[in-house]
Structure 1
Amino acid sequence: MKYQVHEEGEFRYIDEGQGETLLLLHGLFGALSNWDGVIDGFSSRYRVIIPVLPIYELPPRKAGLEALLDFLEKFLVFKELSSFNLLGNSLGGHIGLLYTLKHPENVQRLILTGSSGLFENSMGGSFPKRGSYSYIAERVAYTFYDPKVATKELIDEVFETTSSIAKCMSIVGIAKSAQRHNLAKELYRIDVPTLLVWGLNDTITPPYVGHEFKRLIKNSELHFIDKCCHAPMMEHPGKFNVILEQFLAKNALLEPAPIH
C-alpha cells in the first residue's frame, strides 16, 4: 500500500487528489490496494476516496448488506460528501447499487465492475475453509484470469482473514445477505449514467450478468475486457482506466451557468 491510510474514529480511508470525487468501494475479500491503478490514473485530476468497509469487524449477527450500507451512509456524512461518482467492484458494486437506489440525488455517475446484486458464485462456488492455505490460494487465484495476479501478499492477506472463526462467520453472513438481496426488480429505478465493465472470463459474476445489468439499467453501457476475470481494475488497470476516462468525459457534468 503506497498511499496514506487516514484513521479517524471508526473510519479508515484513502483520500487522494482534488476535484470531482470518485468514491471507490472494494469487494468481500477486497482491500484498498485493489484500486491502486485507479488512484494512479485519476488522482491528478480527481479526488479519489476509498473507505475500508468493516466487513470483518461486524458482529456475525449483524453481518449483512444493511449494516454495510449504514456504515457507508455514516462515512459520507462524516466526510460531508453529497455529490460524487460511485464505483464498486463485486460486493462493493452491490452496496453502491443499494446506495444509489436510496440516495439517487447524491450519485452523479455509477460505475460497476463484476458487481453482485443479480447473481454471483460466492468465493468461486464455496465458502472459505479455515486453516487450508492451499485452498485459499486456489480460491484467490480463481478470482483472476492470470493466476499470477494472485500474489503471495494478496493470498496471505485473505488467509489471515479466513483464519479467524468470527471473521469467517461475518464473511458467510455477508455473502448470504448478498444472495438474498437480488435487485432485479429495482434496477429500473436507476437513471444516472451507468458504466458496466466486465471481465470476459469472469467466473464469479459471468458475462451474462453484465448483459443483464445492461438490460435492467436503462442509461447504461457495457464494456468487456478479454483475458480478464472478476477484478478488471486489478488485472488490466490500463484498459480499465481508458474505458472509465472515456465514460467520464462522455458524461461530463454540466457547469452551472454564470450568474450575471
Structure 2
Amino acid sequence: MSYEIKQLDKFHYIDEGEGETLVLFHGLFGALSNFADLIEYFRKTHRVVVPILPLLDLDLLNTTVGGLQKYVNKFFEKLDLKNIHLLGNSLGGHVALVQILKHPERIKTLILTGSSGLFESAMGDTYPKRGDRAYIRKKTEDTFYDPRIATEELVDEVFEITNNRLKVIKIIALAKSAIRHNLGEELKEIKQPTLLIWGKNDIVTPPFVAEEFHKLIPNSELYFIDKCGHAPMMEVPGEFNVILGEFLEKHKQ
C-alpha cells in the first residue's frame, strides 16, 4: 500500500485517516515503509501522520538530535497538531523524548519502541563502512530477530546511504549526538502516559534499556515481544498493533 506524500512548505509527510492524531517518527535508517502495517491498521481509527525526518538533509551543525527536535516542533506548529499520541522507533524515539521534554503541551501519550536516549550499541565507532556490502547486510540483519526480514531491497537502501561520503559524515554526527544526549536525568519529568513496546531479542537497545526507561518514566507500562528485534512494528506487526491499540483505546478522549 502506497500513500500520498504531502508537502507543506519544507515539510513532507503522510497524513491518513481521521480521529485522534497518531504521529510516527522513524529511526536513522528508517523509512516510511517501516510503518506500512501500522499505518494501514490505525488509519481506520486514527489520523496517522508520519513526517519524513530530514536526517541527512539538515546542515551539519544541526544534524543532531536537538536539530531534529526543532524541526518536528515546527512541523507540529505548522499543522497545529494537538493531543498527539507520539510514537518513535530507535532514533525517532529519542527525538520524541526530547520533544515531549521541551514541549509537553501538544502531546497526550508517548510510545517508544527500541528507543535510544539511554543506551544503544549500533552506532558510533567504525560504523558505517563505505563500500562494504557484506558489513551493511550484517548490520541490517542485526536489526531483526529473523534476519530474513533484511531483504535485498532493505540492504540496498542502507548500502546506498552509506556509500555517500557526506551522508556517512551526517550519520556519524547523528549517532554521536544520540550517544552524547543521554536523557537519564530528565525522564522523571515526563508526565504523559507512556507505552514501551520492546523486542525481547533487541541487540541494539537491549531489554535492560526498556527496563531502565520503565523505571525512570513515572507513568509507564512495558511490554516485551518474544522472538523480536529492534523494530517490532516491522517484525511482528500483528502483536505490536494489538498492544498499541489497547493502549490508545485506554487513553482516548
Establish whether TM, by shorter chain, passes 0.5.
Answer: yes
Aligned residue number for residue 179 of structure 1: 179
Shift in alpha-carbon separation, 1:156–1:49, aligned structure 2, 3 A:
same
Aligned residue number for residue 141 of structure 1: 141
Aligned residue number for residue 246 of structure 1: 246
Shift in alpha-carbon separation, 1:195–1:125, aligned structure 2, 3 A:
farther
Q: Does the 8 Å contact 1:124/1:139 carry over to 2? A: no
CA distance in 2, matches of 1:57, 1:20: 30
Task: Give 3-state SS (helix, strand or coil) of 1:22's partner.
Answer: strand
Please report how far the alpha carbon of residue 18 of structure 1 lies from its aligned counterpart in structure 2 after TM superposition. 0.8
Task: Give 3-state SS (helix, strand or coil) of 2:117's partner.
Answer: coil
Please report how far the alpha carbon of residue 9 of structure 1 lies from its aligned counterpart in structure 2 after TM superposition. 2.8
Aligned residue number for residue 9 of structure 2: 9
Aligned length: 253
Please report how far the alpha carbon of residue 126 of structure 1 lies from its aligned counterpart in structure 2 after TM superposition. 4.4
Q: Does the 8 Å contact 1:22/1:47 carry over to 2? A: yes
Aligned residue number for residue 159 of structure 2: 159
Please report how far the alpha carbon of residue 8 of structure 1 lies from its aligned counterpart in structure 2 after TM superposition. 3.2
Shift in alpha-carbon separation, 1:125–1:224, aligned structure 2, 3 A:
farther
Please report how far the alpha carbon of residue 153 of structure 1 lies from its aligned counterpart in structure 2 after TM superposition. 1.2
Q: Does the 8 Å contact 1:200/1:207 carry over to 2? A: yes
Aligned residue number for residue 257 of structure 1: none
Q: Does the 8 Å contact 2:124/2:176 carry over to 1? A: no
Alignment-mate amino acid for residue 235 of structure 2 = E
Output aligned runs, 1:45-124, within 5 Å: 45-123=45-123
Runs (5+) with no aligned partner, structure 2? none
CA distance in 2, matches of 1:18, 1:158: 33
User: If the length of structure 2 is used for normalisation, what is the TM-score?
Assistant: 0.97
1:150 matched to 2:150: yes
CA distance in 1, matches of 2:126, 2:234: 23
Comparing 80-89 and 115-124, the one that deviates more? 115-124
Please report how far the alpha carbon of residue 61 of structure 1 lies from its aligned counterpart in structure 2 after TM superposition. 3.2
Alignment-mate amino acid for residue 16 of structure 2 = E
Q: Does the 8 Å contact 1:123/1:139 carry over to 2? A: no
Comparing 6-15 and 169-178, the one that deviates more? 6-15
Aligned residue number for residue 226 of structure 1: 226
